[in-house]
Homo-oligomer: A and B are copies of this chain.
Amino acid sequence: MTDTSKAGGEAGRRTAAHPRTPKAPPTIYDIAVLAGVNPSTVSRALSKPGRVSAKTAQKIMEAAEELNYQVNVFARALPTGRTQTIGLIVSDITNPAYFEVIRGAETAASAHGYTLMLAESAESADLEMTAARRMLATVDGLILASPRLSDEEIGRLSSTKPVVVINRSVAGVTSMVADIEAGVTDAVRHLAAMGHAAISYVPGPERSWMSQRRWESIKARCDWHGIEATMEAGQQPTVDGGRRAAAAVRAGRATAVFCYNDLMAIGLMRELQAAGLAIPEDLSILGFDNIFGSDFTTPPLSTIKSPLHALGASALESLLAAGDRAAQLQDDPALPTELVLRGSTGQAREGQKMSGNSLATG
């Protein structure tokens, strides 16, 4: 039997007068004693303002202040399951494109009193799943930026707690996708005006929905302009991945190349330059995102800028708006991309073959 049956809710509890250990952090019981009210009143005053009289609320706040009280998030989470924490998983923490996504999400989170928990999948579906599982245990909601997971896996995840994906579309899951049409349309029009008649695209990983999406958009616009569009083999979405695409690009007839992202575009450009090609004279190169550093290559990179900050912020906002409207927002025109023309694009080279030395394969 329990002694609670004899002395009520406070029996067996440690009181302000008899702390169990000298420096245990104060609890609502300590506050209750100091303010001369019941612990449950303290709880109410602290978590649902308005459900308690102004006077007692005042007393309680002062007592809490005096004791330097901090809620125990575990104790709070145990009955409620809520932690005021949102998880964000990015595919690659070393991709500067995520800077602003993270900042956007973090800013929006703080604004709502939430904390952001960050993890990366390092481009691995397995690691992503592990991180997602771990986070879901702790977090009120999850944002997946450019996930490498399958649709089914994401769907399963989202059945547990609210999930929002960025740069991905999954049936039944809220999704934040930039409207790439604006940027691609401008870019292809520009290329057409510069005389380019054959364009190629270097995609990222196969698991990247956004890579596929970008190709479709480019293809469609090229068709419209009567430009030949071809797709190269997929690569890792990194500087090295871009480098590896160099040989194939050189072997083709395209006079302009879109890369899945700026990282790849930079890698491709540098590898080509190392082999003696002139950019943009021999080849025009375009990236996506407009990341840190894309403006200090030589030539500076032309790119299609993504609304990275807004993507992160909107994802978080719509997560907090708690799946009211699910699975919408695809190619949201409120998240437009924009062509940023710099030095890596120019007039199409004339009929002759590219100059340059032979290229190491790899």
Residues of chain A having any CB pair with chain B under 8 Å: 1-2, 4-5, 70-75, 77-78, 83, 85, 93-94, 96, 99-100, 102-103, 106, 115-120, 133-135, 137-138, 266, 270, 292-293, 296-298
Contact = CB atoms under 8 A, between A and B. Distances in A.
How many copies are assembled?
2
B106 A134 contact: no
Contacts of A118: 116-118
Contact of A296 (B115, B135, B270): B270
A159 to B, nearest CB: 10
Contact of A77 (B74, B94, B293): B74
11 contacts: A1-B4, A70-B133, A73-B138, A74-B75, A74-B78, A74-B83, A93-B103, A94-B103, A115-B119, A116-B118, A270-B296
Given A117-B118, A118-B118, 11 more contacts: A1-B4, A2-B2, A5-B5, A70-B133, A70-B137, A72-B78, A75-B78, A93-B103, A116-B119, A293-B296, A296-B297
A73 B266 contact: no
Contact of A96 (B96, B100, B103, B117): B96
Interface pairs A-B: 7 shortest CB-CB? A293-B293, A1-B5, A118-B118, A74-B77, A298-B298, A94-B99, A74-B74
A117 to B, nearest CB: 5
Contacts of A78: 72, 74-75, 78
A120 B27 CA distance: 29
Nearest to A116: B119
A214 B134 CA distance: 40
Nearest to A133: B70
A180 to B, nearest CB: 23
A94 B5 contact: no
A292 B291 CA distance: 11
A359 B270 CA distance: 31
A292 B96 contact: yes
